[in-house]
Homo-oligomer: A and B are copies of this chain.
Amino acid sequence: MKKIQVSIAQLDNYGPWTVSPEPKPEAFLQMLQSRLFADLEEEISDLGGLAFITRYDNTIAISNGLTIEDHEKIQKKIREKYPVTVSFGIGNAETAYPAQKFASEALQDTGSSQSAKRLEEVNGETVQFPEESQVQIAHIDINHVTGYTDIEPIYDTHQLIQQVYLSLSEALVSKKALVFYTGGDNFMAPSNGLDKEDILEVLTKVEEETGIKLKAGAGRSTNAVEAARLASEGLHDIRDNETDENVIFKEST
């Protein structure tokens, strides 16, 4: 059975760096983290993968198609551009949750996130691409979110979206998938192995918990960029009323 590959980028010894010699200005850290994420996204997506905002000091990416050497090239570019460096753990499995678990373990095996000795490690197992490779991503959003954005206080809508995010992540992890917030009212769920029934079940559970109605386009391909493209296309079809279903699947041919 085909597999999804997860890479975790972790800044080397970042915590100590942020307070050395004294706590660095918060704004500088925010700027660094956001620009570094954007650059990781650019590097990884140029190669067909997709990085998702996680903790900023740790970034999870779906990386099918990226070799060990590709990871090393990215490390090198980061090193020559930033005052910080990055290590990578890589894992793979038939579903996304265990793949990130293996990637975490591979990373943790190289040393502590707060170790001054660990530097630019790459550890873990990649998937043969494209033969053994498959990525399914569901692009999920909130129905009629403008109704909130234009009327409610912005922080209230933000809080509501965070509730939806947490509810989604609990429902999806229980099915061995993952989900990330991608801004606005959008979520992306690496969800190999889930079918339409599974996703509808997740959306229904979230609606019961939060009162928020969701819809989803799911795409399936050999890499993340293409899977996400199909997913967004599917979601677009639902928004355009080209279907009256809440979940549609698209597969690359």
What residues make up the interface of A, taking CB atoms closer than 8 Å to B?
8, 10, 14-15, 18-19, 22-35, 37-38, 41-42, 44-46, 50-58, 60, 77, 79-83, 97, 100-101, 103-105, 107-108, 112-114, 139, 146, 149-155, 157-159, 161-163, 165-166, 169-170, 173, 178, 182-185, 188, 225, 228-229, 232-233, 235-236, 239
Chain B residues near A151: list those with CB within 8 A: 108
- Our pick among B22, B33, B41 for the contact of A27 (Cβ within 8 Å) is B41
A104→B157 CA distance, assembly (Å): 11
A52→B34 CA distance, assembly (Å): 11
Chain B residues near A46: list those with CB within 8 A: 46
Answer whether A146 and B32 are a contact pair too, CB < 8 Å, given A22-B236, A159-B169: no
Chain B residues near A29: list those with CB within 8 A: 182-183
Chain B residues near A166: list those with CB within 8 A: 159, 162-163, 166
Distance to closest chain B CB from A141 (angstroms): 10
- Our pick among B24, B54, B83, B228 for the contact of A82 (Cβ within 8 Å) is B83
Pairs across A and B, CB under 8 Å, 12 listed: A15-B146, A22-B233, A27-B42, A27-B228, A30-B53, A55-B183, A58-B158, A82-B82, A97-B155, A104-B152, A105-B153, A108-B151
A232→B149 CA distance, assembly (Å): 32
Question: From A108, which residue of chain B is reached at the shortest CB distance?
Answer: B150
Chain B residues near A42: list those with CB within 8 A: 27, 31
Most buried by B among A8, A31, A35, A105: A31
Does the CB pair B30–A182 fall under 8 Å?
Answer: yes
Most buried by B among A30, A41, A178: A30
Does the CB pair B55–A184 fall under 8 Å?
Answer: yes
Does the CB pair B51–A81 fall under 8 Å?
Answer: no
Distance to closest chain B CB from A89 (angstroms): 8
